[in-house]
């Protein structure tokens, strides 16, 4: 699995990685939804467009996860597939992300609900590259 859960006192830390920054963002999103449901059981029946901005790559990661949570709340969807992720530098200290998230309506019986993720936080926020692999991490408030 290209992500893992990190020990934290009351919440859940996630760490995701990928050969590209976009892949690391996708794996972080998968980790986020794996906190809430069994993502392996989520089918890609509906898609939504996601857009967000951040002042740097770590902040963009938190905004990305929170934008996904917002869409999940608005649409009553859970997501398991994240495609067409584009991260664009707009200006000094500003990045924009465009992506497509796919999933289906939340079904408690099918998706094995675990815990509710309230928000991605800046606590434990970290971004690094090592041996051409991008690593992102943060703590998710549950």
Per-residue pLDDT of the chain (142 residues; tens, 9 = 90+): 688 888 767 799 999 999 999 999 999 999 999 999 999 999 999 999 999 999 999 999 999 999 999 999 999 999 999 999 999 999 888 999 999 999 999 999 999 999 999 999 999 999 999 999 999 999 999 9
Q: In whole angstroms, give the CA distance from residue 19 to residue 63.
A: 21
Q: How far is CA 58 from the centre of its chain?
A: 12
> What was the pLDDT predicted at 10?
77
Mapped onto helix, strand or coil, the DSSP state of residue 117 is coil
Buried b (16+ CB within 10 A) or exposed e, 15-31: bbbbeebbbbbbbbbbb
What's the pLDDT score for residue 63? Answer: 98
Strand partners, 77: 105
Residue bearing tokens 């989520």: 42
Check residue 22 and give its pLDDT: 98
Other beta carbons less than 10 A from residue 141's beta carbon: 14
Domain ranges of the chain: 3-141
Q: CA-CA distance, 30 to 15, in Å (whole number)?
A: 11
3-141 belongs to which CATH class?
Answer: alpha beta
Question: Do 30 and 14 contact (CB within 8 A), yes or no?
Answer: no
**Any idea which residue has 């019986």 for tokens?**
109
Task: Give the pLDDT of residue 54.
Answer: 97
Per DSSP, what are the bridge partners of residue 127?
Answer: 136
Contact 20, 8 (CB under 8 A): no
Which parts of 37-130 fold into alpha helices (H)?
A: 57-75, 108-111
């Amino acid at each position: 699995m290209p992500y893992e859960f990190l020990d934290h006192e009351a919440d859940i830390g996630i760490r995701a990685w990928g050969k590209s920054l976009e892949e690391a963002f996708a794996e972080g999103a998968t980790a986020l939804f794996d906190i809430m449901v069994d993502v392996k059981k989520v089918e890609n029946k509906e898609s939504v467009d996601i857009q967000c901005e951040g002042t740097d790559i770590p902040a963009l990661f938190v905004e990305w996860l929170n934008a996904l949570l917002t869409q999940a709340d608005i649409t009553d969807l859970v997501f398991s597939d994240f495609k067409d992720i584009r991260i664009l530098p707009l200006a000094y200290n500003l990045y924009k992300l465009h992506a497509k998230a796919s999933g289906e309506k939340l079904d408690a019986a099918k998706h094995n609900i675990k815990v509710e993720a309230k928000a991605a936080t800046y606590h434990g926020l970290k971004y690094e590259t090592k041996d051409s692999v991008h690593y992102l991490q943060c703590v998710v408030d549950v």
